[in-house]
A and B are shown apart, each in its own frame.
Chain A
Amino acid sequence: MTLTREQGILRAFAQLADTLVADYDVVDLLQNLVDLSSRFLGATASGVMLADEHGELDVIASTSEASRLVEVMQLSAYAGPCIESFETGAVVSVADIEQVPDRWQAFRDRALEQGFAAIDAIPLRLRAQTIGTLNLFRAATGDLPEDDLVAAQAFADVATIGILHQRSLAESDAIRQQLQFALNSRIIIEQAKGVVAQTRAVPIDQAFTLIRDYARRNQKGISQVASDIVERRLRL
């Protein structure tokens, strides 16, 4: 069965949305994004570059080794349409790669060598925050049809929301771990006081002094000493 272009794009959206259910992996999501972009948006190859929490860009997904090489090259030169799109948060379209300015020479040479004639870099952007770009490579020169560009931006938006959502989940996981660690060490310190109070037959306050002094003398953290005491690896 042959799908019309609209049906194809709708199906692509449904697939992207599917990736976002429950325990999704960002890499799966992005691979899906580039595969669908190539299939339905007339791209010969496509790729996604994503910035980490420190703003460092990296190539996360591509449909071909050729497009990956061109993207990686832009990263090392830190120049080219993908970089510009990331920096400005705007779509950067190049209808004929032979005509790019000289500052993008390294990009131009590598892109032509890999058989690409045109490129569109679409920002992965939510409001003021740009987290990466979706890059569509084409083998023939010319502008990407307006409709395809709109669809590409919509794909990119869905992916952006998915990535940011996943990151906020990871952050709350980090908070959870830190809090649990803090709580555990508080509890273990109390337990260690009890152990020392029992074994040395001293009041609780004095037990804490013994633990603290031992930690200082041996240049260890109180939490660590307390844990050793509760696990009975250490006897004060």
Chain B
Amino acid sequence: MNKRTTDAPPGDAPQAEYWRPFMEALPVEGTAVSTIGDLLGTETVSASDTVAARLDELQFDLGEGPCWDALRLRRPVLEPDLRRRPQQQWTSFTPAAIEAGVGALFAFPMLVGPLRIGAVDMYTREPVALDEAHTQAATKLAEAAGRTLLKRALDTMGREEPAEDANPFSRRVMHQATGMVLAQLDVSADDARMVIQAHAYATDRSMMEVSRDVLDGRLDFSALDGGDGRSR
């Protein structure tokens, strides 16, 4: 079995089963479920809308935000009123999230025993507070989602080409671009990734956008000569 096909398996397409339970149990407008860290990789698995997906992408690119904190602290991170009464200081993420139209933001860690799987981010446009029952429900749902994701990862472990090609949020393009940049500049993979990150930050775009430019040949770092990194 495990014969690879070019078509995605039908169940893999929108992955709505990951975010739907949260939307039904909590007074939120959008939900994104992401694996985070060096266990399963940093990648959104499923998002209910583009704002939710954007929030996660911002956090991945910036390396800060509630999903990182929730996973590190192993507890929910709640921002009931991000605009007026922010609880945490994310210097880059908070303004970006507000600009994306977010009023309240909640992150729940996905943990399986000692393993850190990822986090679930939820948002609303207007401020809203979660009560104790909501927090408990989300904690339970996040736990269940974490177990499902871990099981899925264990099932696909060892396949050289993962089935995640079907994932619209896949960040594999970024890894490919990292490879191209490391060849362009003759630097390590870590440094190449940082070059992409810095360029994205400097040009106010996402790392994925920059990566696509690299892949399509619109951006070549070897052609830039110690300048400010702007190719166009």
Which residues of chain A have a CB within 8 Å of any CB of chain B? 168-169, 172, 175-176, 178-180, 182-199, 204, 222-223, 230, 232
B180 touches A187 (CB 8 A): no
Residues of chain B contacted by A175 (CB below 8 angstroms): 115, 154
5 A-B residue contacts at CB 8 Å?
Answer: A179-B157, A191-B179, A195-B180, A198-B184, A204-B215
Stretch at the interface among B38-46, B47-55, B82-90: B38-46
CA distance A182 to B164 in the complex (A): 13
- Residues of B180-204 at the interface with A, using a CB-CB cut-off of 8 Å, are 180-184, 186, 189
> B19-41: contact bitstring with A at CB < 8 Å (1 yes, 0 no)?
00000000000000000001111
Among residues of B, the one whose C-beta sits closest to the C-beta of A173 is B114
B157 touches A194 (CB 8 A): no
| Interface residue B92 (Cβ < 8 Å from any Cβ of A) | no
CA distance A39 to B51 in the complex (A): 66
A191 touches B182 (CB 8 A): yes
> B168-187: contact bitstring with A at CB < 8 Å (1 yes, 0 no)?
00001001111111111010
With A179-B39, A185-B160, A194-B177 known, 7 other A-B pairs at CB within 8 A are A175-B115, A184-B38, A191-B176, A191-B179, A194-B179, A197-B179, A198-B180
B175 touches A190 (CB 8 A): yes
A198 CB contact (under 8 Å) in B160, B175, B179: B179
A187 touches B175 (CB 8 A): yes
A222 touches B160 (CB 8 A): yes
- A186, A188, A232 interface centre (most CB from chain B within 10 Å): A186
A190 touches B154 (CB 8 A): no
Residues of chain B contacted by A168 (CB below 8 angstroms): 113
Question: Least Cβ distance of B41 to chain A in Å?
Answer: 5
B172 touches A190 (CB 8 A): yes
- Decide yes or no: A172 and B115 within 8 Å by CB, A178-B157, A179-B157 being known contacts: yes
A223 touches B160 (CB 8 A): yes
A182 touches B180 (CB 8 A): no
Question: Least Cβ distance of B62 to chain A in Å?
Answer: 20
A190 touches B179 (CB 8 A): yes
| Interface residue B63 (Cβ < 8 Å from any Cβ of A) | no
B182 touches A176 (CB 8 A): no
Question: Least Cβ distance of B111 to chain A in Å?
Answer: 11
| Interface residue B9 (Cβ < 8 Å from any Cβ of A) | no
| Interface residue B153 (Cβ < 8 Å from any Cβ of A) | yes
- 5 tightest CB-CB pairs across the interface, nearest first? A194-B179, A190-B175, A191-B179, A198-B183, A194-B180
A191 CB contact (under 8 Å) in B39, B40, B175, B215: B175
A183 touches B40 (CB 8 A): yes
CA distance A112 to B177 in the complex (A): 74
Residues of chain B contacted by A232 (CB below 8 angstroms): 186
| Interface residue B95 (Cβ < 8 Å from any Cβ of A) | no
Question: Least Cβ distance of B115 to chain A in Å?
Answer: 6
CA distance A172 to B215 in the complex (A): 37
B162 touches A186 (CB 8 A): yes
A179 touches B153 (CB 8 A): yes
Among residues of A, the one whose C-beta sits closest to the C-beta of B214 is A194
Residues of chain B contacted by A204 (CB below 8 angstroms): 176, 215
Residues of chain B contacted by A198 (CB below 8 angstroms): 179-180, 183-184
CA distance A180 to B39 in the complex (A): 5
A230 touches B157 (CB 8 A): no
| Interface residue B158 (Cβ < 8 Å from any Cβ of A) | yes
CA distance A190 to B177 in the complex (A): 9
A191 touches B178 (CB 8 A): yes
CA distance A199 to B40 in the complex (A): 29
Question: Least Cβ distance of A202 to chain B in Å?
Answer: 11
Residues of chain B contacted by A182 (CB below 8 angstroms): 153, 157-158
Among residues of B, the one whose C-beta sits closest to the C-beta of A189 is B160
Question: Least Cβ distance of B85 to chain A in Å?
Answer: 37
CA distance A198 to B153 in the complex (A): 30
Question: Least Cβ distance of B196 to chain A in Å?
Answer: 11
Question: Least Cβ distance of B156 to chain A in Å?
Answer: 8
Residues of chain A contacted by B177 (CB below 8 angstroms): 194
- B114, B177, B182, B186 interface centre (most CB from chain A within 10 Å): B182
Residues of chain A contacted by B115 (CB below 8 angstroms): 172, 175-176
Residues of chain B contacted by A222 (CB below 8 angstroms): 160
Among residues of B, the one whose C-beta sits closest to the C-beta of A208 is B161
